[in-house]
């Protein structure tokens, strides 16, 4: 297989199409807007006012095709953790504290043990975060899912005071980007990972560590610094996600040599994934970004970039 083939698009996933879908749905979503909706469509989590002071923050997602490899490796519990952590990380970008989680499991034929592993994995994360699992839904859908396939989706809802909302609007030239390490790939880009693995044996400890939950890290940072923006680094990488929370006219310049990448990204490179594709698809070792004033940084080794006026989105210092 040519190295040029080891891309997300070659694996059947188009980030361009994903962006186009968001644009296509924008009109329908905006047509439902009520006075209680705060902010614009396309953020990591939506905000909804429940009174003059408090806002609900909500996000929904799925584990995706990581489930295929996790099922083979007997690591579905890790995927349960992925889903809960992912949702909590999303609502956390608004400054919200997680309140509750709801899940949805679907398969051609329900395997009770597999469902239990997924939900128990989510419960591990939710307990640590003080986030209640209110319930969910389990569906058997033969004819929609192939034999032995399953899907795991979930929604997290959080709560934030209006005065505590973090939306990126106060980020400015000279602020720095603090990077929080990832455990590895987390739960994005697995269509490409599966293309590389094929039917061969693989190292589950290398490829499948669950998504880090950054709740405690962000809570701690907010006690020491004025956190002006938060970005959860998922599909689209640092560039695609950090750009979502920066105000117009201000971008970020990221130094890709300022942190150590987990070994899995060297593994991906060795299997033909080009560096620009690694940056475009994966988190490459940074699972969460925070924008803070330079004067508030206590550890310079956590700084991975700076904001600059006139930069469009996110640029790389080695480009």
> Please, what is the Cα angle at 24 between 228 and 89, to 5 degrees?
30
Please give the C-alpha separations between residue 88 and each of 37, 100, 223, 300, in angstroms, as whole numbers. Answer: 20, 9, 19, 27
- What one-character DSSP code corresponds to residue 130? T
Q: What percent of the chain has pLDDT over 70?
A: 95
Q: Report the run of H or E that residue 250 belongs to, with start and end.
A: strand 250-254
pLDDT confidence of residue 82 = 98
Determine contact, residues 47/93, Cβ cutoff 8 Å.
no
Residue range 214-243, pLDDT digits in tens: 999 999 999 999 999 999 999 999 999 999
Those residues with Cβ within 8 angstroms of residue 274's Cβ, 6 or more apart along the chain or in another chain: 3, 4, 6, 7
Closest C-alpha among 96, 105, 102 to residue 44: 96
pLDDT tier, 4 (very low <50, low <70, confident <90, very high otherwise): low
What pLDDT score does 49 carry? 98
pLDDT at 304 over 50: yes
Order across the sheet with 303-309: list the strands.
229-232, 286-292, 176-181, 303-309, 250-254, 314-316
State pTM to two decimals. Answer: 0.93
Give the pairing of strands 54-62 and 46-49.
antiparallel
CA dist., res. 230 & res. 165, Å (int) = 11
- Convert the pLDDT of each residue in 115-158 to its tens digit: 999 999 999 999 999 999 999 999 999 999 888 889 999 999 99
pLDDT of the residue at 18: 66
Q: What is the pLDDT of residues 39-90, one digit of tens each?
A: 888 899 999 999 999 999 999 999 999 999 999 999 999 999 999 999 999 9
pLDDT of residue 160: 98
CA gap 132, 87 in Å, rounded: 13
């Amino acid at each position: 297989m040519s190295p040029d083939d080891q891309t997300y698009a070659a694996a059947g996933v188009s980030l361009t199409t994903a962006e186009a879908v968001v644009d296509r749905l924008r009109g329908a979503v905006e047509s439902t807007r009520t006075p209680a909706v705060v902010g614009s469509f396309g953020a990591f989590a939506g905000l909804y006012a429940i009174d003059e002071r408090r806002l609900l923050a909500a996000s929904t997602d799925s584990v995706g095709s990581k489930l295929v490899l996790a099922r083979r490796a007997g690591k579905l519990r890790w995927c349960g953790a992925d889903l809960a952590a992912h949702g909590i990380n999303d609502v956390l970008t608004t400054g919200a504290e997680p309140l509750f989680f709801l899940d949805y499991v679907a398969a051609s034929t329900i395997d009770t043990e597999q469902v239990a592993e997924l939900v128990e994995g989510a419960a591990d994360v939710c307990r640590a975060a003080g986030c209640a699992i209110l319930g969910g839904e389990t569906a058997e859908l033969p004819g929609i899912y192939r034999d032995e396939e399953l899907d795991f989706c979930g929604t997290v809802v959080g709560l934030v005071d209006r005065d505590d909302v973090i939306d990126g609007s106060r980020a400015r030239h000279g602020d720095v980007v603090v990077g929080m390490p990832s455990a590895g790939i987390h739960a994005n880009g697995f269509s490409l990972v599966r293309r590389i693995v094929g039917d061969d044996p693989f190292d589950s400890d290398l490829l499948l560590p669950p998504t880090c939950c950054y709740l405690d890290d962000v809570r701690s940072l907010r006690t020491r610094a004025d956190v002006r923006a938060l970005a959860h680094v998922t599909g689209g990488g640092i560039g695609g996600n950090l750009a979502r929370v920066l105000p117009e006219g201000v971008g970020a310049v990221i130094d890709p040599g300022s942190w150590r990448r987990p070994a899995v990204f060297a593994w991906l490179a060795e299997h033909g994934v080009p560096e620009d594709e690694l940056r475009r698809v994966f988190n490459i070792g940074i699972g969460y970004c925070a924008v803070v004033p330079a004067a508030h940084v206590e550890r310079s080794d956590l700084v991975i970039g700076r904001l600059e006026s006139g930069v469009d989105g996110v640029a790389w210092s080695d480009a």
